[in-house]
């Protein structure tokens, strides 16, 4: 092999290895871009499901009389200390379900929602059902319906507390006293097994 052929061969090998490195680097860059895009989509979906899909989320109740606050600083629900009942201002409740969390005496968090349904009744239920509770996905609201996030079944909000069993929301006994909706903390404690 002549010097020229050897130099030409060496140049070819150099370009091949450079091309292979460039292709590998571009492939890695594309993979990183794809992974970043997937992460952004997953975070967006999680934010949608937690914060905006079918109801207002409100952190709330701590056993023993304390209450957490919303970002605005005012309590979303409070235990009034009389028998441990949870008390929610009815002015907070409309046709849109509001989701709350109750902290049990043992430290477990029990999710529930309350609303004023289309028939004007105040309703409250655990954010769980007898069938899909193990999935720990709860409900969301679509129009007048509460929808199980696990199986997709729709339940008219006006039937919450009236229809029991199956995948229906587990109703909580409630009563309106003055300008407040009261829910028994004892019932919320009893519902801890669903969470």
Q: Which H or E run includes 80? A: none
List of long-range contacts for 128-131, beta carbons under 8 Å, 24+ apart: 128/169, 128/170, 128/191, 128/194, 128/195, 129/166, 129/167, 129/168, 129/169, 129/170, 130/165, 130/166, 130/167, 130/168, 130/170, 131/166, 131/167
Six-digit token string for 86: 């949870």
Is the pLDDT higher at 163 or at 74? Answer: 163
Residue 20 pLDDT: 60
Q: What burial letters (b/e) apply to 135-173, b meaning 16+ CB within 10 Å?
A: eeebbbbeeebbbbbbeebebbbbbbbeeeeebbbbbbe
Domain ranges of the chain: 1-52, 56-194
d(CA 175, CA 83): 14
Give the span between the Cα atoms of 94 and 82, in whole angstroms. Answer: 26
Structure-token match 């060496």, residue found: 10
Residue 20 host element (H or E): helix 3-47
Residue 191: closest CA among 144, 124, 141, 96: 124
**Structural fold of domain 56-194:** Rieske Iron-sulfur Protein (2.102.10)
Per-position DSSP letters for 121-190, written without gaps between them: -EEEEES--TTTGGG---EEEETTEEEETTT--EEEGGGTTTS-STTS--B--EEEETTEEEE-HHHHHH
pLDDT per residue as tens digits for the range 100-154: 999 988 888 999 999 999 889 999 999 988 888 877 888 999 998 899 998 888 8
* Of 114, 78, 76, nearest in space to 96 by CA: 114
Per-residue pLDDT tens digits for 158-172: 888 888 877 789 889
Q: Residue 25 — very low, low, confident or very high, per pLDDT cuts 50/70/90?
A: low
Predicted confidence at residue 58, as pLDDT, reads 43
Buried b (16+ CB within 10 A) or exposed e, 68-95: beeeeeebbbbbeeeebbbbbeeebbee
**pLDDT digits 0-9 by tens, 29-65:** 777 777 776 666 665 554 444 444 444 444 444 333 3
């Amino acid at each position: 092999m002549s010097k020229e052929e050897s130099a030409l061969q060496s140049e070819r090998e150099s370009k091949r290895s450079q091309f292979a490195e460039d292709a590998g680097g571009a492939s890695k860059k594309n993979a990183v871009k794809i992974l970043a895009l997937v992460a952004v989509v997953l975070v967006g979906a999680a934010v949608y499901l937690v914060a905006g899909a079918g109801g207002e989320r409100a952190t709330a109740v701590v056993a023993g009389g304390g209450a957490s606050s919303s970002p605005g600083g005012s309590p979303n629900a409070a235990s009034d200390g009389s028998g441990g009942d949870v008390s929610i201002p009815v002015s907070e409740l409309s046709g849109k379900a509001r989701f709350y969390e109750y902290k049990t005496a043992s430290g477990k968090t029990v999710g529930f929602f309350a609303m004023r349904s289309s028939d004007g009744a105040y309703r409250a239920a655990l954010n769980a059902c007898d069938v899909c509770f193990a999935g720990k996905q709860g409900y969301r609201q679509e129009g007048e319906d509460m929808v199980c996030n696990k199986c997709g079944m729709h339940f008219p909000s006006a039937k919450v507390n009236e229809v029991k069993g199956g995948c229906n929301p587990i109703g909580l006994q409630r009563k309106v006293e003055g300008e407040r909706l009261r829910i028994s903390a004892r019932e919320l404690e009893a519902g801890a097994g669903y969470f």
